[in-house]
Structure 1
Amino acid sequence: MHSTFMSIEIGKRGLLAHTQGLATVGHNMSNASVEGYSRQRVNFEAMDPLYMPGLNREETPGQIGQGVSIQSIERIRDEILEGRIAAQTNVGGYWETRNSYLLMVEKTYNEPSDVSVRSLLDAFWDAWQELSIHPDEVAARHAVIENAKALVDGIHGRYHALSSIRKMIEEDVQVTVNEVNDYIARIAHLNEQIVKVKAMGDNPNDLMDRRDLLVEKLAKLINITVDKRDPDEFTIHVGGRHLVQGKVYHPFILDPRPQNEGFSAVLWEGSTEEVRLEGGKLAALLELRDGDVRGEIQKLDTMTVNLVNLVNEVHRNAYGLNGQTGVDFFVEHPAVLNAVGNYDRNGDGEFDSTYLFRIHGTNVLDPNAQVGIEGVITLSGTEGDVQIAYYPTDTVQDIVNRINTSGAEVSASFDRLGRLVLKATPSGDVAFPDFVIRHVEDSGQFLSGYAGILGGSGPENAYDWETVDAVLTLRGGAEYGVAPFAHPSGWVVLNPEVERDPASVAAGFGQGGRPAPPGDGSAALAIANLRTEPVMIGRLMTFDDYFAEAVSEIGLKGQQAQIADETQKLIMKDLKDLRESISGVNIDEELAQMIKFQHGYAASARFISTFNSMLDLLINRMAV
């Protein structure tokens, strides 16, 4: 038979269970405002009966209950919903970052305004147009100089603004990598604690809430996948590798890359392998730094180097009011001081490369003439060499157009005399310098005998930048220009000689070695006409087309980022509201639970009091 005092034990168990229930309600309400907290519930179950099947027992009409016990204290969490939130957090972090920085980039254009580079360039062309009408006036030359100085200041301002944004992104990359390393270290430490608590048979609800919050914050920074299949080894992957595995974690390191102007690559610690990131804030930062913002700087550099090159080409062949010629309007800073472009690229003290920006052919060409020959031109591209075939029925212009649409990092055009000109474009790979022609080859005769650029056909006569004195492979008499110093938009200046003496501003071309007469404005007109001619390197377009495309492209990028960011915020709001309805603390619901546990506690206490009275009657009041 069961004990006389068994009912006291049943009442005690009821008191303890409902006390724990009240404590859990208090814990929930206390943490209602804590980020990442999931409400907890006490699960009650009936104690095992006094007589279990198969055990020795006395004859009774049934099993005798022993009251209530606490089965578990669980947190209310929808794991499938948490997975969706983590995935959307990753996407949201990516677009939020792009939206904020692209907005900064858009503002550097100052469009539409009178101080934008585009407006300043328009004023510059207008000044040359005015000089072509009044080539004998010093006042018109002063206007050219002042507008040129304003244009240079505008270019400098935009370059420094973009450069500052890129440096800001680099600092953000460093901070974000440190945050990632901090999060994974804390997650690994929590993993170790959680395993120990579970080994004791408990549910570490608060510790798991902290870990899930850290995982969500980590998902905003990088694209991760979480594996919870092994309860003893919580695992996080990124880019196909383990980031966290139980209590072990693998942090990131930053490796400054000289070929990328000292900006850092993100590597795995103890390895030379770069981390493959496809989403999150860090991926967006790297994409912005080395893609979007670098691309904007390259566009500005392209416009600047082309402007300097073309204006100087005309100006140095023309005469000023003082009779001087051979004067550059802008100062050009070559990347190397060697006259033939030889450069020590690997830093061992010996020349090993040739840095050329442009090569002029020796022959004057008719763009509409059929070439009558065939072959394959090979030029350097972003992902290896690009081959451009040409045929006897092609015109010279056909071949030029084919080169400019081939994806090669070399563009073709005609100079003022009608000669073919090859110019380098910005490099799509940070490992290669901008505005350096890396490879030119022709299996036929177009670039050699026809245009007069190469000294011969085939690989043995190819121009390749990874050799010293590569200019020796060019046709005798071919003109070339050494590659400019990095970021022309940051250093371009007006020639001090021109600024000191406005009369040295050239307006006309001379004839037979004689200075241009005072009324000759042909050179000024030639410079003004550069505005509407398809002279931009890369994809041939006018300066006006270049600015129109550049402004629209960054505008579309910004619009896309803004729309995507707003969409993701709405998605995240819906998901978090749903999570809050499931896992969040509802004060009204907790108060209802509190009243329930309070009444349960009071009932258990009353039960004990009643049974105590019965025992008192039995023990103290029954006469012998």
Structure 2
Amino acid sequence: MGSTFGGYSIALTGMRVNQAALTVTSHNIANVDTAGYSRQVIAIEETVNDPTSSNSVGTGATVAEIKRARNQLLDNTYRQQNTEVEYWASKSGTLDYLQEILDEFAADDGSADDGLQQTIQNFFDSWDNLASDPSSVSSRQSVVENAASLLDTLSQIDEQLQSLQADACTAAGDIVDEINDIASQVSALNLLITKAEANSGEASDLRDQRDDLLDQLSAYTNFSSQEASSGMVSVFIGGVALVNGTKANSLSISGDGSTANPLQVTWTSTQTTAKITGGSLKACLEDADQSGFSAISDTDNYNFTATATSSISTLRQGLNDLITTIANNINSLHSAGTDLDGNTGLDFFVVVDASQPLSISNIQVNPEITADVNKLVAGSEGDAGDNTVANAISSLLDEKLFQYNGLSQDLTGFYQSVIAWVATAGSNAESAYDVHSTLATQADNQRQSISSTSLDEEMSNMIKYQSAYSAASRVLSTIDNLVGGMIEELG
């Protein structure tokens, strides 16, 4: 009778393990469209009455474990590539916007009144017209008006660039807040996972939530992670723990990106600088950096190089070089001449704020000249027909007053080089984004092929486990009928 009742136990275990398998299958099907969900797999193993004995007998089956179908190597690969993707996405977006700003003030056919290059041309043409009739009041007014138009166009561009850098500061602050929130959630999940797995198997759903958070974190910054035997994950940024078990450290951000007050991300507890080397946070920190922009204090040819950390500051410096070089050279010629009233010429361009040097954001046409166009200098002697200064200023357009990476250029060539740099940098950033995006997609597709739920596979499993459950129940029913018949015969 022992073997008969043993059959009861075997059939019962068969029903139990297949019922558990059906539950897992049902859970997979229910979450087929759930973002971040990893397919769960049940492992069933046989049981024996005495595994150490040569006469051991099988006693059925049991659920060994239920765990996620997940590949940690592919997770890490995806996150590393995603960090690069988001960095280059941000850089590419910034450079595209720089191009849009320039396009807004670009004259494609050389005829648009609001094109920056055309505005520059109009300004120098007005000096050429003044040279044709040095005493003409209308020609003098045209010079002042075209100068004001040039400064207004450059000012509008610079204001948009400064606004873009301010937006980068704001975005960096928002990202730091997101990172701190993710760290807090990961540490809380660490505690829940440890508690859940202390009394049962793998806490798959909680682990999915944690992995989804780490995927999100990879978009913001570089990090590494390490899982302990307890199931807790530690997260490190530049070797410093953002999450250590159930403890979350926080980041702080300060500064405005200026040279005097740089934008910095620090560890709140120690005030040491966090090593941010990737992700959208790094891109924002770079874009907000204003150290690449400075005033040009002398009239010597300034050697412009597009090497600043911030592409925004690089463009600002290029345009600052353009207008400051123009202003310094015009002032040198204008102040050496004589106006119509016989007075020594004034500086044509002056600062708005006397405490700050001349720059794209601190320049205006001399108010004295604006108020009295007779103070505008056209010649060296001040005679009515003297046009020597006006001619010299008009000729500045074709002189090689600029240097780009050590190469001497005239004004038009220099401006075209700056525009070309923006286009090239944007193209390079977009190419880098495409490469890393492809690699990230490949890694994600590979891990999804492992962890995603296939309805066809789950339906097949459901039929298999349902049939096995029915078979085990029929075994149980058959044994029950045999025992019942035997008892009935024994009376």
Same fold (TM over 0.5): yes
Instruction: Report what 1:35 is aligned to.
Output: 35
Instruction: Report what 1:469 is aligned to.
Output: none
Given the superposition, is the C-alpha separation of residues 533 and 273 from structure 1 closer, same or farther in structure 2, using an over 3 Å criterion?
Answer: farther
Identical amino acids, percent of aligned pairs: 26
Given the superposition, is the C-alpha separation of residues 243 and 324 from structure 1 closer, same or farther in structure 2, using an over 3 Å criterion?
Answer: same
Q: Would the aligned equivalents of 1:237 and 1:243 in 2 still touch at CA under 8 Å?
A: yes
Q: Alpha-carbon deviation of 1:263?
A: 5.8
CA distance in 2, matches of 1:116, 1:78: 55
Q: State yes or no: 1:591 paired with 2:464.
A: no
- Unaligned regions of 5+ residues in structure 1, if any? 55-60, 337-482, 511-515
CA distance in 1, matches of 2:94, 2:258: 24
1:247-266 residue pairs with structure 2 within 5 A?
247-256=246-255, 259-260=258-259, 264-266=263-265
Q: Alpha-carbon deviation of 1:200?
A: 2.5
1:125-136 residue pairs with structure 2 within 5 A?
125-136=124-135
CA distance in 2, matches of 1:160, 1:15: 73
1:7-18 residue pairs with structure 2 within 5 A?
7-18=7-18
Instruction: Report what 2:65 is aligned to.
Output: 72
CA distance in 1, matches of 2:56, 2:321: 90
Q: Deviations over 1:165-205 (max 9, x none)?
A: 11111111111111111111111111222222233242111
Q: Alpha-carbon deviation of 1:163?
A: 1.0
Aligned with 2:185: secondary structure?
A: helix
Instruction: Report what 1:542 is aligned to.
Output: 410
Q: Would the aligned equivalents of 2:250 and 2:268 in 1 still touch at CA under 8 Å?
A: yes
Given the superposition, is the C-alpha separation of residues 490 and 334 from structure 1 closer, same or farther in structure 2, using an over 3 Å criterion?
Answer: closer
Q: Deviations over 1:40-82 (max 9, x none)?
A: 11111112x223435xxxxxx9432211110011111122211
1:219-618 residue pairs with structure 2 within 5 A?
219-228=218-227, 230-256=229-255, 259-260=258-259, 264-290=263-289, 291-333=310-352, 336=355, 484=357, 488-510=359-381, 516-536=382-402, 541-618=409-486
Q: Alpha-carbon deviation of 1:541?
A: 4.2
Q: Would the aligned equivalents of 2:38 and 2:69 in 1 still touch at CA under 8 Å?
A: yes
TM-score using structure 1 length: 0.70
Given the superposition, is the C-alpha separation of residues 118 and 240 from structure 1 closer, same or farther in structure 2, using an over 3 Å criterion?
Answer: farther
CA distance in 1, matches of 2:171, 2:262: 12
Aligned residue identity for 1:328: D
Aligned residue identity for 2:411: F
RMSD: 2.2
Q: Would the aligned equivalents of 1:304 and 1:492 in 2 still touch at CA under 8 Å?
A: no
CA distance in 2, matches of 1:236, 1:566: 28
Q: Would the aligned equivalents of 1:184 and 1:243 in 2 still touch at CA under 8 Å?
A: yes
Aligned with 2:37: secondary structure?
A: coil
Q: Would the aligned equivalents of 2:39 and 2:69 in 1 still touch at CA under 8 Å?
A: yes
CA distance in 2, matches of 1:556, 1:132: 39
Instruction: Report what 2:26 is aligned to.
Output: 26
Given the superposition, is the C-alpha separation of residues 221 and 156 from structure 1 closer, same or farther in structure 2, using an over 3 Å criterion?
Answer: same
Aligned with 1:46: secondary structure?
A: strand
CA distance in 1, matches of 2:477, 2:237: 61
Q: Alpha-carbon deviation of 1:335?
A: 5.3
Q: Would the aligned equivalents of 1:8 and 1:611 in 2 still touch at CA under 8 Å?
A: yes
Instruction: Report what 2:84 is aligned to.
Output: 91
Q: Alpha-carbon deviation of 1:117?
A: 2.4
Given the superposition, is the C-alpha separation of residues 29 and 216 from structure 1 closer, same or farther in structure 2, using an over 3 Å criterion?
Answer: same
CA distance in 1, matches of 2:180, 2:232: 19
Aligned with 2:346: secondary structure?
A: coil
CA distance in 2, matches of 1:530, 1:188: 65
Mean CA deviation greater in 170-179 or 249-258: 249-258
Given the superposition, is the C-alpha separation of residues 544 and 257 from structure 1 closer, same or farther in structure 2, using an over 3 Å criterion?
Answer: same
Q: Would the aligned equivalents of 2:403 and 2:414 in 1 still touch at CA under 8 Å?
A: no
Q: Would the aligned equivalents of 2:134 and 2:385 in 1 still touch at CA under 8 Å?
A: yes
Q: Alpha-carbon deviation of 1:130?
A: 2.0
Q: Would the aligned equivalents of 2:107 and 2:116 in 1 still touch at CA under 8 Å?
A: no
CA distance in 2, matches of 1:22, 1:300: 68
CA distance in 2, matches of 1:190, 1:565: 32
Q: Alpha-carbon deviation of 1:293?
A: 1.2
Aligned residue identity for 1:90: T
Q: Comparing both structures, which one devotes a greater share of its residues to helix?
A: 2
Q: Alpha-carbon deviation of 1:308?
A: 2.5
Q: Would the aligned equivalents of 1:333 and 1:484 in 2 still touch at CA under 8 Å?
A: no
CA distance in 1, matches of 2:216, 2:400: 50
CA distance in 1, matches of 2:337, 2:403: 23
Aligned residue identity for 2:392: A
Q: Would the aligned equivalents of 2:140 and 2:373 in 1 still touch at CA under 8 Å?
A: yes
Flag the structure with more relative contact order, 1 or 2, with Cα contacts below 8 A and sequence separation at least 6. 2
Instruction: Report what 2:96 is aligned to.
Output: 103
CA distance in 2, matches of 1:553, 1:534: 19
Q: Alpha-carbon deviation of 1:119?
A: 2.2
Q: Would the aligned equivalents of 1:76 and 1:582 in 2 still touch at CA under 8 Å?
A: yes
- Unaligned regions of 5+ residues in structure 2, if any? 290-309
Q: Deviations over 1:509-555 (max 9, x none)?
A: 12xxxxx2111111112222222333347856432232122111111
Count of aligned positions: 463
Given the superposition, is the C-alpha separation of residues 280 and 491 from structure 1 closer, same or farther in structure 2, using an over 3 Å criterion?
Answer: same
Aligned with 1:35: secondary structure?
A: coil
Given the superposition, is the C-alpha separation of residues 259 and 289 from structure 1 closer, same or farther in structure 2, using an over 3 Å criterion?
Answer: closer
Q: Deviations over 1:447-504 (max 9, x none)?
A: xxxxxxxxxxxxxxxxxxxxxxxxxxxxxxxxxxxx516xx32342222332233332
Q: Would the aligned equivalents of 2:15 and 2:472 in 1 still touch at CA under 8 Å?
A: yes
Q: Alpha-carbon deviation of 1:587?
A: 0.6
Q: Would the aligned equivalents of 1:170 and 1:264 in 2 still touch at CA under 8 Å?
A: yes
Q: Alpha-carbon deviation of 1:296?
A: 1.9
CA distance in 2, matches of 1:153, 1:2: 100
Aligned with 1:109: secondary structure?
A: helix
TM-score using structure 2 length: 0.88
Given the superposition, is the C-alpha separation of residues 554 and 618 from structure 1 closer, same or farther in structure 2, using an over 3 Å criterion?
Answer: same
Q: Alpha-carbon deviation of 1:164?
A: 1.2
Q: Would the aligned equivalents of 2:257 and 2:288 in 1 still touch at CA under 8 Å?
A: no
Q: Alpha-carbon deviation of 1:253?
A: 0.0
Given the superposition, is the C-alpha separation of residues 30 and 223 from structure 1 closer, same or farther in structure 2, using an over 3 Å criterion?
Answer: same
Instruction: Report what 1:343 is aligned to.
Output: none
Aligned residue identity for 2:367: P
Q: Deviations over 1:77-130 (max 9, x none)?
A: 122211211111111111111111111111121234432322211211121122
Aligned residue identity for 2:169: E
Aligned with 2:36: secondary structure?
A: coil
Q: Would the aligned equivalents of 1:232 and 1:246 in 2 still touch at CA under 8 Å?
A: no
Q: Would the aligned equivalents of 2:250 and 2:269 in 1 still touch at CA under 8 Å?
A: no
Q: Would the aligned equivalents of 1:306 and 1:537 in 2 still touch at CA under 8 Å?
A: no
